[in-house]
Structure 1
Amino acid sequence: MTEIPEKVLALAKAVRDAGGRALLVGGCVRDELMGQQPKDWDFEVYGVEPARLRELLDQFGSVNVVGEAFTVYKLGAHLDISLPRRERKTGRGHRAFFVEGDPGMAVEKAAERRDFTINAILQDPLTGDIIDPFRGRDDLKDKTLRAVSPKTFPEDSLRVLRAAQFAARFEFQIDPETVDLCRMIDLTDLPRERIWGEVEKLLLRAQRPSIGLKWLHELHVIDRLFPEINALIDVPQDPEWHPEGDVFIHTLLTVDRARELIDDLPYPKQVTVMLAALAHDFGKPATTEFLEGRLRSREHEEAGVEPTISFLDKMNIRTLDGYDVRAQVVALVRDHLKPGEFYKKREEVGVGAFRRLARKCDLDLLYRVAKSDSLGRNAEHVPREKWYTAEAQEWFINRVRELDLEQ
């Protein structure tokens, strides 16, 4: 049993004393059932009119009111309160909904508008009672993502991307009928910021982002939203240097290795490494050819710059917390082979070369991307004796530290 904050319990008691019922819903209930301590808490309040609810909330401190179509009250950074509501799609776009709060609404009817069954479970924090109208606990046990309602699920196209990021984070399968629903949903109404919001969670919150990327491919998101990634699929690589398979397979392995190397970094640099790992071979589709008896992708680093910029534009990636993520990602893509090249010429490469490279990009981040690239050739089906090491990249970062060039 996770620990429920005192403010949450106190608010639930106040609602009860006012003749209503405050039920926890969504991610906090799901996380608790999965044995994780929730960070954020969401209440739906039944049986209390809006004006009276606001009076109750004002007793608990400063209330921040958010939402254009529907009011959500925020008590601090981690507690959201709303009335149960019904929604109806009125046009294109994620804001084109008619939303109406109804404190007298039945719990099952309110839960029907939610995306997945695992997010449609409610809990009374005072009694511990679980209300599970769509058998979400069964799906948690079976590690399955399933749409609550085939009728309402397609109304929000962002749910297709949410399916992929939840599948990655929780390492769940997606129910076949839900897969079919996702493939039919039009994604052209999604704004860039909302696309990035889900890709960010996929890359940073999952331990194996490759799971989410595979699902984006299966759900026909990549071919509709990300042609830069789609172009990697089936692009061949020389089996001596890349025994793992095509460029897409290599990229999946690379992002997983990158995810293992970022936990000690501040958030903007985590984002930078993950995006650079994802984009590092965007130049290979345009440059791969059969030359001198083998597959080669000459100058693919420079060729990858333009598609990387296009990819970042699709999610409006620029600066985060004052850090120029966009410029760094582009620089890391352009120079991701440099640590290996420096290592091969380590008897000749002088301090000046390192200093010039440091003016272009963060050398610590370059080390992490290059290491992920090297280790991203080690697929499970490749014999262990053929696995690659990161010897070159370790030499590189040790030299960087000797020269005090870490940023």
Structure 2
Amino acid sequence: MQDILLLLHSRLPSGCVDKMYLVGGFIRDTILGYEPSDLDLVVEGGAGEAALQIASLLSGRMFEPDPSRAIYRVVADIARIDLEEAGRDGLRGNLQRRDFTIDALALPLADCLKPDWQRYILDPCKGLDDLRQKTVRAVSPTVMQDDPLRCLRAFRLAGKLDLTIDSGTLNLIREAGQLMVTVAPERIWEELAGILSQDRAAGLLRLMDSETGLLEAIIPEIIPLKGLQQGGFHHEDTWNHSLNVLESLESIVNTPGIAPQISDYLQAGTGGNRTRLIILKLAAILHDIGKPCCQKPKEGGGYSFHGHDRVGKQIAVGISRRLRVSSKEAELLRLLVREHMSPLALYTISSSPSSRALRRLFLRSGQDTIGLLLLALADYMATRRGNPEAINAYREFICRILTAFLTRGEEYIKKTALLNGHEIQELLGLKPSPLVGEALQALADAKFDGLITTREDAVAFLRRWAAHSAGPYREE
């Protein structure tokens, strides 16, 4: 970033440089020791012309993301730069309209390369004091109501920069929470995803929920989880369990030396700048979202939640649509919520599942088997807190399945059918029915187990199989 500043400083006309100020995140991040990713500039007159000059200088392109506010964006290979007109009330007024004091800082571009550049910072809102105290503080009592999305941004900044949100700002967020319904869903999802991308998102969500109620305003489906007792190995209500699952998941994925294949999977993109890990974290807090609809008392005490994975899948689909997440993200969330019990179901049968059982799991989950197994482990860790022996045994089980998937996954999930569904219907005289799918599964299992290798083998196998399985479905 220093090279870009040097280029702007040396190649732009001095009259242009004298009207430009670095603002916001660049100053904040530099003081805190982080590498700034973008530049934000306020220009006292002629922001559009300055943007064109910078675009030409950097061989980039310029456009107006928000023409109503006289904001211009320059996108080049080496940087993204936003330029904004100071406005009628000048630079000071511009800074005082910003969200947080730590962003209401300005540095003349003409002074940014001086060794003592911090002496030239303009600080009308005492943001430098808050930076020293590592505090996120609202510039004024109206900033959250002016743009309720700032409520979420406060938590994202706190997580990203390891800051504390002051109590007065938390009160403002609480008061403005009901206004989140006025914010475009895409903007909400972008900020929520930014929070989930932090290494310690669980702590941020706990604070957000307990101190402001903001999470309920965004995802009201979590409200019935609060106070919902589960019995059995669970010692907390369903909502606190869900947060514990997220906390356990973060402890897993933040472990040093995690396998490169797992790291690559987690960091793969799902839309925008978002990753699979973000959706995996969202699944952690939503995996039991179907339980309130499925709770039934059991004889002798406790509760059952039969079918909560299927009900939860449908609720997760609704949340995805409301937040307008990408189709790829929605599909991943749906799969994780639907299948989150599958690894534990295998474990209850045997700690050494058969190749056929593994293959069926891998076929259902595909490449997202990795995410599913991590979620299942986090769920178990959160449920069995205080029982390290049980956790270690289940961790070993999950690791064995992960190893099988990472080393032989393609072999397990590749297409193996020797006959298609129409051929099976014709061969066996079956009606369209679930039995056709069962026949395909039986055929694939037989080939995987080495029982058949040719179409002729498949025909003979299916005739034997149908004699035992297909009677009720045959054509009259």
Does 2:71 align with 1:71?
A: yes
State how far apart, in whole Å, the 1-side matches of 2:312 and 2:3 are. Answer: 52
Does 2:330 align with 1:326?
A: yes
SS at match of 2:81: strand
| Alignment counterpart, residue 400 of structure 1, candidates 397, 405, 410 | 405
Larger Rg: 2
State how far apart, in whole Å, the 2-side matches of 1:32 and 1:51 are. Answer: 26
TM-score, length of structure 1 as denominator length: 0.83
Following superposition, the deviation at residue 376 of structure 1 comes to 2.7
Q: Residue in 2 aligned with 1:281? A: 288
State how far apart, in whole Å, the 1-side matches of 2:37 and 2:175 are. Answer: 33
SS at match of 1:148: coil
CA shift in 2, pair 1:334/1:211, >3 Å: same
Q: Residue in 1 aligned with 2:317? A: 309
| Alignment counterpart, residue 201 of structure 1, candidates 185, 194, 202 | 194
State how far apart, in whole Å, the 1-side matches of 2:361 and 2:372 are. Answer: 10
Letter in 2 for 1:346: S
CA shift in 2, pair 1:295/1:7, >3 Å: same
Q: Residue in 2 aligned with 1:220? A: 213
Query: Is the contact made by 1:281 and 1:304 (CA closer than 8 Å) also made in structure 2?
Result: yes
SS at match of 2:225: coil
1:230-249 correspondence to structure 2 within 5 Å: 230-238=223-231, 241-243=233-235, 245-249=236-240
| Alignment counterpart, residue 116 of structure 1, candidates 89, 92, 100 | 100
Q: Residue in 2 aligned with 1:6? A: 3
What is the CA RMSD across the aligned residues, in angstroms? 2.7
Query: Is the contact made by 1:12 and 1:22 (CA closer than 8 Å) also made in structure 2?
Result: no
State how far apart, in whole Å, the 2-side matches of 1:223 and 1:196 are. Answer: 14
CA shift in 2, pair 1:51/1:196, >3 Å: closer
State how far apart, in whole Å, the 1-side matches of 2:352 and 2:82 are. Answer: 64
Q: Residue in 1 aligned with 2:443? A: none
State how far apart, in whole Å, the 2-side matches of 1:51 and 1:169 are. Answer: 31
Letter in 1 for 2:397: A
In structure 1, list runs of 5 or more residues that go unmatched.
86-100
1:121-270 correspondence to structure 2 within 5 Å: 121-124=105-108, 125-127=112-114, 128=117, 129-185=120-176, 186-204=179-197, 206-217=198-209, 218-238=211-231, 241-243=233-235, 245-259=236-250, 260-261=252-253, 263-264=263-264, 265=266, 266-268=268-270, 269-270=276-277
Following superposition, the deviation at residue 14 of structure 1 comes to 4.8
Query: Is the contact made by 1:113 and 1:153 (CA closer than 8 Å) also made in structure 2?
Result: no
| Alignment counterpart, residue 25 of structure 2, candidates 18, 24, 27 | 27
SS at match of 1:36: coil
Letter in 2 for 1:226: I
State how far apart, in whole Å, the 1-side matches of 2:331 and 2:133 are. Answer: 43
Q: Residue in 2 aligned with 1:91? A: none
Percent identity for Structure 1 against Structure 2: 25
SS at match of 1:108: helix
State how far apart, in whole Å, the 1-side matches of 2:200 and 2:47 are. Answer: 43
CA shift in 2, pair 1:171/1:250, >3 Å: farther
CA-to-aligned-CA distance 1:309-360 (integer Å, 9 cap, x gap): 11111211233xxxx3322221221111211221232378433332233232
Q: Residue in 2 aligned with 1:82? A: 83
SS at match of 1:325: helix
Q: Residue in 1 aligned with 2:445? A: none
Query: Is the contact made by 2:340 and 2:375 (CA closer than 8 Å) also made in structure 1?
Result: yes
Query: Is the contact made by 1:222 and 1:230 (CA closer than 8 Å) also made in structure 2?
Result: no
TM-score, length of structure 2 as denominator length: 0.72
Question: Going by fraction, where is helix more abundant, 1 or 2?
Answer: 2
Letter in 2 for 1:283: G
CA shift in 2, pair 1:341/1:52, >3 Å: closer
CA-to-aligned-CA distance 1:14-42 (integer Å, 9 cap, x gap): 55711524322112221111111112221
State how far apart, in whole Å, the 1-side matches of 2:31 and 2:263 are. Answer: 26
Following superposition, the deviation at residue 263 of structure 1 comes to 4.4
In structure 2, list runs of 5 or more residues that go unmatched.
254-261, 271-275, 414-476
CA-to-aligned-CA distance 1:214-265 (integer Å, 9 cap, x gap): 2332322222221122222222232x5124x222222112223334427432
State how far apart, in whole Å, the 2-side matches of 1:384 and 1:121 are. Answer: 50
CA shift in 2, pair 1:9/1:339, >3 Å: same
Q: Residue in 1 aligned with 2:378? A: 372
State how far apart, in whole Å, the 2-side matches of 1:318 and 1:51 are. Answer: 33
State how far apart, in whole Å, the 2-side matches of 1:190 and 1:55 are. Answer: 31
State how far apart, in whole Å, the 2-side matches of 1:110 and 1:65 are. Answer: 21
State how far apart, in whole Å, the 2-side matches of 1:11 and 1:37 are. Answer: 18
CA shift in 2, pair 1:52/1:308, >3 Å: closer
State how far apart, in whole Å, the 2-side matches of 1:249 and 1:11 are. Answer: 51
Report 1 or 2 for greater relative contact order, CA contacts < 8 Å, sequence distance ≥ 6. Answer: 1
Query: Is the contact made by 2:42 and 2:91 (CA closer than 8 Å) also made in structure 1?
Result: no
CA shift in 2, pair 1:7/1:236, >3 Å: same
Following superposition, the deviation at residue 139 of structure 1 comes to 1.7
Task: Please identify runs of 4+ aligned residues in structure 1 that moved more than 6 A.
Answer: none
Q: Residue in 2 aligned with 1:94? A: none
Q: Residue in 2 aligned with 1:388? A: 391
